[in-house]
């Protein structure tokens, strides 16, 4: 019986202590309201009822009330509108009642009624505010009991004794605050290791909680808790933000939005970049956003490489790309050319006394995109050296990879890359090869996304605050048709490749493949050019032909005009009138003059073609494209199928070789075999 009595007595004591701990914080508003009665009774005794003193006291109390209300509004200006209004109303009502009670007495009606009604209302409102502020963050992922921070730390067995002062955003999507650690016992390493357990206790995604150290206090950390994924719905690309403005810190690229709604900005000048993400993570579409912005800028030239997907990824961007390499031979030629170009550009900047490229220096900023770089970079020994010399010469190399393993990207080359953009990856090991260690420790987990969150990424670059480097972002959503339209509509803003770079690039650049066939398809799909007539298509289909070369074939007028708008003509061809009949250059084989009403015979056209090959063979030229002999078959009145037929015959005869798409190689001593072809 005594044991039972002790149990009930102990339960009553615990209940009483718990009730006291809950009610004690709620008591101050009620104590203040009740305490105003004896205080105003005393002031009424001093100043009330006197015809001289009472008006003076009333004026002084009113002025004090105005001052106190104004001060409260100023002190709460950084808070929410509700907090400011609540505080202002409380101060105004309290000082107003105090003045009235001083004049007529606190127990007079209706002064006493106003205190009982208005004072109780205000006291309850402050109690509600305290309860809401003290309760846990109100999200569905948390338990319904409304835990405090101390409850969370007890639950996870970490960070006990730490204190969190946090504030929830107006949209309710996130909570940010300062975590005060126990001095001498806890460090940021303790916070970083506790993040997975905190995410579990709070019911948030693994990427929904992160922390960054306070740069000035080792006993503090900045904690962010995400309740709602604001990036789930992609944001369409809003269009160019700085069209017609050269790249700079004041006019960077705009890539997407962070989870707090702020735009993602990047200035690629002065650093190379590495973009990593598994298949389906959205890195190619992210590059489209960069290219769309670059296509609207003056003093910018874009070169690009994609030996894996070819036209699938970069076909839509072709109208804005100055040099596009789709084969390994073309890519290797471009990268080797870049080394010579970088040296010439560095010399140019050195003569101007510049350590870095800047707008107006006389050369364009070059953005070189290397898609699926893992298939190419390991084979190029000079790539590491290229990253060293290109950066200060105004050349930005962007290597796009699925995995940034040490075999895919050399350690020395990696050290020269200052910008890392990591989309969803396969596992934490892949993430660790891209993102800096402090970003991983702060809670960045791209392996959680994988291919399930296309466009989600982390961006680490010079000038980006550390807390934003660990903040998820999502690139804008842009379609291929939009990218093509931007490349065409803003061609007038782009600056042609500068003379310094073009001269250093030499023949490899002058004879680059311009992919007129791909361009024609792109323009037709986007309604910028008309398809070939049905009769011509049928005639072409009737004759078997080898794979269509990718060089400049016979172009429609729309495609020819688009090429001229997109890219300035070759200086060596500037004197030619492309709208008139084709005129033979003086250094090429002269065709026999056909009759006015008929083209050359097949035999005469073949003879002119063979003489051209003999001349190239004697000069030591080994490679050519159909574009190089366009003056022969077009001037002879022959069609594209006829050209393909001749190329196929010469290939079968061993005079030429067609191992690379769009490029034909002349066999040494070809002149001796032409008579048998």
Bridge-based pairing state of the strands 323-325 and 253-258: unpaired
pLDDT recorded at residue 597: 41
Helices H, strands E: what count in the chain? 25, 17
CATH number of 253-435+471-493: 3.40.50.300
Task: Answer whether residue 483 shows pLDDT above 80.
Answer: yes
Q: What mean pLDDT is reported for the chain?
A: 79
Return the CA Rg of the chain: 38
Ranges 290-304, 381-395, 515-529, 579-593: which has the least confidence: 579-593
Distance CA(666)–CA(224), nearest Å, equals 65
Residue range 9-32: mean pLDDT, rounded? 67
Ranges 117-126, 438-447, 587-596, 654-663: which has the least confidence: 587-596
Task: Answer whether residue 215 shows pLDDT above 90.
Answer: no
pLDDT confidence band for 149 (50 / 70 / 90): confident
Task: Answer whether residue 554 shows pLDDT above 80.
Answer: no
Task: Answer whether residue 2 shows pLDDT above 90.
Answer: no
Residue in the structure block whose two tokens are 């990047």: 266
Q: Do the Cβ atoms of 277 and 426 come closer than 8 Å? A: no
484, two tokens: 């093509």
Tell me the C-alpha to C-alpha distance, in Å, between residue 75 and each of 28, 56, 84, 89, 96: 20, 29, 9, 14, 20
66, two tokens: 């105005």
% of the chain with per-residue pLDDT over 70: 78
CA distance from start to end of the chain: 120
Residue range 424-446: mean pLDDT, rounded? 92
Residue range 215-243: mean pLDDT, rounded? 90
Distance CA(370)–CA(367), nearest Å, equals 10
- Fold matches, 149-226 and 253-435+471-493: no
pLDDT confidence band for 182 (50 / 70 / 90): very high
Q: Do the Cβ atoms of 314 and 304 come closer than 8 Å? A: yes
pLDDT confidence band for 20 (50 / 70 / 90): low
pLDDT recorded at residue 522: 87
pLDDT recorded at residue 76: 62
Distance CA(34)–CA(39), nearest Å, equals 9
566: helix, coil or strand?
helix
pLDDT recorded at residue 378: 60
Q: Where are the domains of the chain?
A: 21-134, 149-226, 253-435+471-493, 516-534+548-578, 581-677
pLDDT recorded at residue 423: 97
Task: Answer whether residue 337 shows pLDDT above 90.
Answer: yes
pLDDT recorded at residue 147: 57
pLDDT recorded at residue 574: 39
Distance CA(665)–CA(656), nearest Å, equals 5
Bridge-based pairing state of the strands 263-266 and 323-325: unpaired
- pTM of the entire predicted model: 0.61
Task: Answer whether residue 80 shows pLDDT above 70.
Answer: no
Residue range 370-381: mean pLDDT, rounded? 75
| CATH number for domain 149-226, candidates 1.10.3470, 3.40.50, 3.30.70, 3.40.630 | 3.30.70
The 3-state secondary structure of 285-330 reads HHHHHHHHHHCCCCCEEEEEEECCCCHHHHHHHHHHCCEEECCHHH
pLDDT recorded at residue 159: 92
Bridge partners of residue 180, in order along the sequence: 163, 220
581-677 under CATH 1.10.10, yes or no: yes
Task: Answer whether residue 289 shows pLDDT above 90.
Answer: yes
554, two tokens: 């016979």
Task: Answer whether residue 576 shows pLDDT above 50.
Answer: no
pLDDT recorded at residue 670: 56
Task: Answer whether residue 44 shows pLDDT above 80.
Answer: no
């Amino acid at each position: 019986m005594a044991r039972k009595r002790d149990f009930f007595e102990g339960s009553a004591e615990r209940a009483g202590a718990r009730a006291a701990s809950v009610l004690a914080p709620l008591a101050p508003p009620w104590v203040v309201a009740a305490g105003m009665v004896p205080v105003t009774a005393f002031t009424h005794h001093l100043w009330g009822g006197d015809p001289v003193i009472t008006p003076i006291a009333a004026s002084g109390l009113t002025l004090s009330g105005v001052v106190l209300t104004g001060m409260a509004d100023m002190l709460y200006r950084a808070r929410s509108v509700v907090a400011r209004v609540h505080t202002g109303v409380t101060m105004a009502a309290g000082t107003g009642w105090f003045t009235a009670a001083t004049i007529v007495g606190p127990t007079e009606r209706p002064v006493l009624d106003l205190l009982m009604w208005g004072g109780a209302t205000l006291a309850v409102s402050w109690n509600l505010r305290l309860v809401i502020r003290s309760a846990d963050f109100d999200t569905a992922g948390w338990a319904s009991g409304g835990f405090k921070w101390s409850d969370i730390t007890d639950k996870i067995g970490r960070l006990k004794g730490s204190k969190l002062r946090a504030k929830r955003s107006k949209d309710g999507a996130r909570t940010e605050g300062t975590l005060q650690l126990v001095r001498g016992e806890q460090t940021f390493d303790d916070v970083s290791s506790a993040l997975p357990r905190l995410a579990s206790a709070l019911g948030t995604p693994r990427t929904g909680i992160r922390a960054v150290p306070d740069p000035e206090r080792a006993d503090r950390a900045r904690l962010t808790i995400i309740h709602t994924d604001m990036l789930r719905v992609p944001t369409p690309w809003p269009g160019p933000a700085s069209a017609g403005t050269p790249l700079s810190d004041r006019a960077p690229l705009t890539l997407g939005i962070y989870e707090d709604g702020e735009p993602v900005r990047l200035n690629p000048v002065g650093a190379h970049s590495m973009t990593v993400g598994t298949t389906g993570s959205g890195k190619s579409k992210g590059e489209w956003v960069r290219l769309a912005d670059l296509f609207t800028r003056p003093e910018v030239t874009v070169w690009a490489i994609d030996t894996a997907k070819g036209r699938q990824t970069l076909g839509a961007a072709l109208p804005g790309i100055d040099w596009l390499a789709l084969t390994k031979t073309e890519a290797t030629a471009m990268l080797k050319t870049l080394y010579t170009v970088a040296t010439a550009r560095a010399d140019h900047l050195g003569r101007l006394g510049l350590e870095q490229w800047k707008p107006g220096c006389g050369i364009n900023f070059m953005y070189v995109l290397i898609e699926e770089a893992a298939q190419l970079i390991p084979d190029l020994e000079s790539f590491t050296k290229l990253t060293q010399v290109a950066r200060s010469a105004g050349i930005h190399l962007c290597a796009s990879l699925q995995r940034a393993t040490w075999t895919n990207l050399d350690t020395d080359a990696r050290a020269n890359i200052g910008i890392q953009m990591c989309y969803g990856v396969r596992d934490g090991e892949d993430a660790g090869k891209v993102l800096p260690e402090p970003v991983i420790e702060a809670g960045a987990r791209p392996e959680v996304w994988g291919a399930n969150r296309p466009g989600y990424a982390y961006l680490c670059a010079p000038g980006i605050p550390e807390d934003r480097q660990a903040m998820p972002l999502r690139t804008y959503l842009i379609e291929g048709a939009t990218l093509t339209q931007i490349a065409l509509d803003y061609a007038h803003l782009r600056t042609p490749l500068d003379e310094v770079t073009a001269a250093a690039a030499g023949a490899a650049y002058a004879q680059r493949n311009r992919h007129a066939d791909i361009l024609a398809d792109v323009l037709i799909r986007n309604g910028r050019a008309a398809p070939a007539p049905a009769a011509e298509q049928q005639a072409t289909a009737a004759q078997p032909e080898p794979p269509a070369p990718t060089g400049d074939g016979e172009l429609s007028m729309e495609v020819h005009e688009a090429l001229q708008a997109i890219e300035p003509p070759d200086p060596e061809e500037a004197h030619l009138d492309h709208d008139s009949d084709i005129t033979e250059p003086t250094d090429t084989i002269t065709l026999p003059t056909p009759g006015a009403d008929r083209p050359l015979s097949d035999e005469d056209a073949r003879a002119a073609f063979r003489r051209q090959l003999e001349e190239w063979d004697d000069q030591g030229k080994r490679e050519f494209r159909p574009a190089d002999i366009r003056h022969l078959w077009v001037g002879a009145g022959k069609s594209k199928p006829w050209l393909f037929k001749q190329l196929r015959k010469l290939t079968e005869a061993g005079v030429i070789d067609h191992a690379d798409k769009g490029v034909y190689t002349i066999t040494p001593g070809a002149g001796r075999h032409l008579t048998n072809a």
